[in-house]
Amino acid sequence: MRRTQVKGLINLRGQIVTAVDLRRRLDLRERAAADLPMNVVVRHEDCAVSLLVDEIGDVLEVEEEVFELPPGTLSGEARELIRGVYKLKGTLLIALDTDKILNLVTTAARGA
């Protein structure tokens, strides 16, 4: 049985916003109960959506020449949701396709 990806609703300055659990959306293990998620609010089509994430890091400027498409070894839904990676010094920065991640929210809102 698939876990629901919509975690709930939040009130963002009077606007009701859907909260999507990125761990569930990416089919990762559940977050520990003691680890509270953080909200990243993004605009998608004509609405705002909150992505529940583990942590928020620095805002970075990245060069396009360090971007690579997802590796062929990546499978499942994660492959569909990851645009690619940026190879940074000592780490990889995963670039998600927010349109595809949030497709479930707008599809559900339209009653499809």
Q: What is the DSSP letter of 32?
A: P
Give me the pLDDT at residue 11, please. 94
Q: So what CATH class is 6-109?
A: mainly beta
Give me the pLDDT at residue 3, please. 54
Give me the pLDDT at residue 51, please. 93
Query: How far is Cα 48 from Cα 16, in angstroms, rounded to an integer?
Result: 9
pLDDT tens track for 92-110: 898 999 888 887 554 544 4
- The C-alpha angle with vertex 105 and arms to 82 and 24, in degrees rounded to 5, equals 55
Contact status, residue 84 vs residue 67, Cβ threshold 8 Å:
yes
Two tokens at 14?
Answer: 């009077």
